[in-house]
Structure 1
Amino acid sequence: MQQGVILFFVLNDTKKTKRVLQVLRERRIEQYTVLNTFGSYGLYHHGYVNYAPSVAGGMNSSKELDERRYNKTFLIPVPSEEESLAIMQQLAEITNIQEGTGNGILFTVPMVKTD
């Protein structure tokens, strides 16, 4: 049985973190985790790999990637799929996340209780 979902939100524009936290407060979401993360281009930028990832390079200009040192990744447990969709829509509006913008990504993973 599904017991809710985990909303994953990777925010590339970390300057908008306060706006995201405000939305969570307004929706009375008190339990969530925020991580400083970086993607495959971050591995290249920090010298962990010696090749530039083609996906990251194709989505953004190298100048934008050089300026972005890390992302904020939010893990937000939400009790229902319906509520997660409403939260996702609100977060997408305030952070300008749209398909193809490279500003971030929103997705959910179902939580299931096992015996």
Structure 2
Amino acid sequence: MVHRVFSYGTLRQENVQQALFGRPVVTVADTLPRYRLDWLTITDPEVIATSGSDRHPILRPGSVTDVVAGAYLELDDRELAQADAYEVDAYVRAAVTLGSGTSAWVYLAAD
């Protein structure tokens, strides 16, 4: 099964894709309306080593005028499970509709 995952941060980085999926993943530019970016300090050493940073973006609900630019990745079941394992507990995966009308998963703030 193919899963679309909207990324607005480190999952778009080729080094992260290579580490998680063993390959670069094609990304398709899109947006996520009604959300805003915030920042999270990561403390998991493995995630920091993979991404190269302890500062990661995180999505929070926004106003009707907010929109977050990003791209969606097409992942198989195994790759989706690897993306789930990579994201720290501050994130939760949720279903959304992107600006293009495409359905996708996205990692949002869990609080």
Q: TM-score, normalised by structure 2?
A: 0.42
Kindly name which structure, 1 or 2, has the bigger radius of gyration based on alpha carbons: 1
Q: TM-score, normalised by structure 1?
A: 0.41
Higher helix share: 1
Structure ranking higher on relative contact order (CA contacts 8 Å, 6+ apart): 1
Higher strand share: 2
